[in-house]
Amino acid sequence: MAKSWKMPKWFYQLGSPRWFYDISSRLLPWFVIAAVVLLTVGMVWGLAFAPADYQQGNSFRIIYIHVPAAVLAQSCYILMAIAGAISLVWKMKVADMVAKSCAPIGATIAVLALVTGAIWGKPTWGAWWVWDARLTSMLILLFLYIGVYTLHTTIENDISAGQAGAVLSLVGLVNIPIIKYSVEWWNTLHQPATFTVLEKPSMPAEMWIPLAIMVLGFYCFFAVSLMLRTRVEILHREKRAGWVQQMIEEQ
């Protein structure tokens, strides 16, 4: 008789609010340091030392904020949908908390991507906003984040709120490939991807290296924000648990 496949131990550990709280306490300082160092180096290098673009001049430097924000906004949504699916299937409380925490962070990052895109678009296209496929799909992403967050905050029952938010986030996943491939599927004003993992960057190293550093810095900053928000959510939902009461008494 064939053995039934079991999920690894660490997968179930992630579902423990106390385990997540403890492990995040150890990880937070390292991610804070990494975020500060990477964002500082990337920002100074990109804004002060990277050469100007031969076509866009210095206005291209907004790329060092816009591109990391746009990439992270999509990654955050994918994580939110995965966490929501785990919550639906395996009923893991921490997964639901992570999904809820992703929504406001992702919405903020999406706003940053849209605002910096508008600042970039004005000198490039001559307009703050055009109903371009990439821009429109990013705006839809923001609305999806707002929708998921609204469901989590307006439905009083945490289980029902998590299920509704998870379903919406999973349905909204269809928008992610639209954002990514819109410049290839339709005739848009938005330029193609600046660089990809599998292809050689289209810009010189002194321009794309600080951009890569900024992307990593944004991800580290996101990790910090997500852990902090999830920890607050854990304390709120587990406030009657013995380990939370003990921690409060010790402090």
What does the alpha-carbon distance between residue 48 and residue 40 come to, in Å, rounded to a whole number? 12
Q: Which pLDDT band holds residue 204 (cuts at 50, 70, 90)?
A: confident
| Average pLDDT of span 159-183 | 93
- Do residues 63 and 124 touch, judged by C-beta distance below 8 A? no
Q: Tell me, what DSSP letter sits at residue 190?
A: S
> Can you point out the beta strands (E) in 57-202?
none
Calculate the alpha carbon distances from 246 to 25, 94, 97, 226, 249 in Å: 16, 20, 22, 24, 5
Tens digit of each residue's pLDDT (9 = 90 or more) over 6-48? 667 767 777 789 999 999 999 999 999 999 999 999 999 999 9
Cβ–Cβ under 8 Å, residues 30 and 229: no
Which residues have C-beta within 8 Å of that of residue 11, sequence separation ≥ 6? none
Q: Is 90 exceeded by the pLDDT of residue 162?
A: yes
CB contact burial 133-160 (16+ within 10 A = b; e otherwise):
bbbbbbeebbebbebbbebbeeeeebee
67, 215 contact by CB (below 8 A): yes
As given in the structure block, the two tokens for residue 166 are: 């998870």
**48-65 average pLDDT score:** 87
Residue pair 36/97 in contact (Cβ under 8 Å)? The answer is no
> In the chain, where are the structural domains located?
27-50+60-250
Any idea what the Cα angle at residue 34 is, between residues 236 and 11, rounded to 5°? 50
Residue 101: closest CA among 6, 244, 226, 239: 226
Prediction pTM value:
0.91
d(CA 94, CA 230): 8
- pLDDT on residue 148: 98
Q: How far apart are CA 135 and CA 140, in angstroms?
A: 9
Of the listed ranges 30-44, 92-106, 188-202, the one predicted with least confidence:
188-202
Give residue for tokens 């939110």: 80
